[in-house]
Structures are given as structure tokens and as C-alpha cells.
Amino acid sequence: MSRSLPRKGHQTQYLIDTLRSAIVAGDFKPGSVLRQEELAKTFSSSRMPIREALRTLAAEGLILLQPNRGAVVAPIHADELRENVEMREAAEVLAIRLSVPNLSNAQIDRAAEIQRRIAVCDMKDFGSLNKAFHMALYAPCARPRLLAHVGSLHDVAERYLRFTLVELDYVSRSNGEHEAILQACYRRDVDAAQLETSRHIVGAGRTLEDHLRKSVGEGNFDAASGSS
């Protein structure tokens, strides 16, 4: 089914957002080939905004641009997950350190409300709400590039969460860790907020990586072929 694009000037961003959401949600499986001509037909678009969108998603690590296959959805890989966790810890500990002194109670309350939604949400909504929770606490850091970087790392991380969440009792543990982060923020305890954020990210990463390696071994998981 074809989709109508917004006005020229917003087309590329619309394509980026729509394709990113589809990849993160698993609508495009790891290893799937994204053909420019098919995407152009689907979105009633010319090739140029399609190419620009694919280049952006490649820079974010969600797709691979290969000479003979074109654009391919990036495989699920335990090594990429580890790198993502390392980068998230570095960036998000910095973000929470800069943010806590500037957080208002109202801003923390908004994050707490998102956490209440997480506690009762469907698994399909967990990743987006989890990202919203963290970004709500980091917003007062007033570092736009840092926040954009953290946001893109969360988009990559969500693919792994969706791949493994169903088989793990991770959500209840995450809820408790979120509460610890919230309490540190309410106390304006910068050291505790950094520590709880680091524990949360690293602990989840280790759990997901261990599960991924046990499930598909040391290599890639390519859902298009069903092999690792």
C-alpha cells in the first residue's frame, strides 16, 4: 500500500522517521533488503529523498549500505549490543550528571508518570516509553548534540530489547532500577543518579548480551535467512 508523503522539505525527515520506526519495531527484519525502487513506490517518492533517508539510517547503524545488495537492515549482533551499551553508559552518565542540578520536581514527576505507564504497558510499547523516560530526565542537561546522540543509541538498543524481552523477566527489574534513578533525582544526589544510571545500563546490557549469545551464538542473527 502506498503512502502519501508530506510536503517537499519534510519528505526526507518523514522517511527517516518512518523507516527507523519500522526497523526498530521489527517490521523490517535483520538482513532484509530495502530496495530503493520499492520504497519509492510505497511512499510515492522520488529516489533522492529515499537515498538521503537510507544514508542517515546507515550513519545511525540501523542499516548497512552494501555495494551489491544495496541497503540491508543491520543484523542483530552481540558485539554491536556491547558497543551500544558502552556508548550509552558514557553518554547517559554524562547527561544525568549535567541534568540533575537543573531538574525541577515537575520534570521528575513527568518522568515518574512515564514510569507508571511503563509498569503496565504492552511489550510493543516498552522501548519507546523507556526512551521517553530517560530523555525526560536528561533534557535539562542543555546539550542538544548529546541528547540527539543518546536518542539514536536508544533506537538501536530498542531492536535488541524487542528481540529478547519476551524471553526474559527484564521489565520488573528495569522498573525497580528506574525508581532508584527517580529517587536519586528527587534528592538531587548527582553521584547516586550517575551510579544508578550506570548500573541500569550496564546490567541490562550484560543480561541481553548473555541471552543473545546463548540464543544465536557469537555471530550475527540474520532474520532474512534465519541464520547466525
**All domains of the chain, ordered by start, with CATH?**
11-74 (1.10.10.10), 77-216 (1.20.120.530)
Radius of gyration of the chain (CA): 18
pLDDT at 123: 80
Q: Is the dihedral of CA 171, 172, 176, 177 positive or negative?
A: negative
pLDDT at 134: 98
Give the residue from 190, 208, 188, 41 showing the smallest Cα distance to 126: 208
What is the rounded CA–CA span in Å between residue 194 and residue 65? 36
* Spacing of C-alpha 85 from chain mean position: 11
What is the rounded CA–CA span in Å between residue 93 and residue 150? 11
The whole-model pTM stands at: 0.78
What is the rounded CA–CA span in Å between residue 211 and residue 85? 15
What is the rounded CA–CA span in Å between residue 75 and residue 56? 17
The stretches in the chain having pLDDT less than 70 are 1-9, 163-167, 216-228
Residue listed under C-alpha cell 530498542: 158
User: What single-letter amino acid sits at 138?
Assistant: Y
pLDDT at 60: 85
pLDDT at 228: 40
